[in-house]
Amino acid sequence: MRYNGRMNTLIEEISRIVGDQNVFVDEPMSAHTTFRVGGPAECLVMPRTVEQVCDVVQLVRQSGRELHIMGKGSNLLVSDAGLSGVVVQLSGNFSAFEIVDGTRIVAQAGVSNAKVAAAACRAGLTGFEFAAGIPGTIGGAAIMNAGAYDGELKQVASGVTCLDGDGQLVELTPEQAAWGYRRSAIADRGLIVLQVDLQLAEGDPVAIQARMDELAERRQSKQPLDKPSAGSTFKRPEGHFAGKLIQDAGMQGYQVGGAQVSTKHAGFVVNVGGATAADVLQVIKDVRAEVLAQFGVPLEPEVRLWGFSPKELAW
């Protein structure tokens, strides 16, 4: 991929902020998403501090180039054509956290839910067990109010620090975050999550670990964790379960190229080998069309779709 002088200058300026070792040019997004598909990003950046995130975001916005913010890529499908502009990845370098005041955890947006849950368990803090098996970062969990097994982030989050469109830090209370089912005011306002505060309770580490083990076993027995995917493909439609609708529509096992509706759990689209993003998107579209035709229920993707044209995304 060739760049004009302005893009080269932008990459050089970003490198001065975060260091050359944290800037990747023409970086394959297949290496950064759990679907293991996706074309190259013009520039992928892995900042280490809040200041670096703010400076890079401001720089990209001022340049007029596209800006993409991601965590571990666990809820993301990137086009085979890749992404123009700059991808800021907050997992990896931006993943520090600490336990303060005995029962509160303060975590940078890029730390994984599993890592926070494990640390909480060791410290004898209960309330975050549900998130131990949720693939992704705590920042992503805050944006979509991630949940599982009767637990949701909103039950334990006491505050979120974000970056707004004007480059200002914004502290949100739970009421201001307005968490609902797989949504939040954070997403509605296009805010970038930098830090999440969790308020947990004292508990027995043995009991906490037992609960996490139980949930892990339930996931293992019901979900296709052995194949690349982005987790649940569709949001739960009101009054229904997406997986049940897909199964009843006869679409379980449906396959296009290397993308398949999981034979283990119809709510998942998996990469059974050699899938392209186009394969995955086609499966999503075909499943949605069939469920709509048979049951009149429009399934809404839970997976974020990046880099596709409006024509590709047309239902």
Q: Supply the residues annotated as catalytic.
A: 182, 232, 302
Beta-carbon contacts of residue 69 (< 8 Å; ≥ 6 apart): 57, 87, 88, 90, 192
Distance (Å, rounded) from C-alpha 47 to C-alpha 54?
9
Q: Would you report the helix, strand and coil content of the chain in percent, each value rounded to 5?
A: 35, 25, 35
Among 125, 122, 146, 116, residue whose Cα is nearest residue 134: 146
Beta-carbon contacts of residue 86 (< 8 Å; ≥ 6 apart): 10, 14, 41, 42, 43, 44, 45, 56, 60, 65, 66, 67, 68
Instruction: Using alpha carbons only, give the angle 72, 75, 77 rounded to the nearest 5 degrees.
Output: 100
Task: Tell how strand 104-108 and strand 192-199 pair up.
Answer: antiparallel
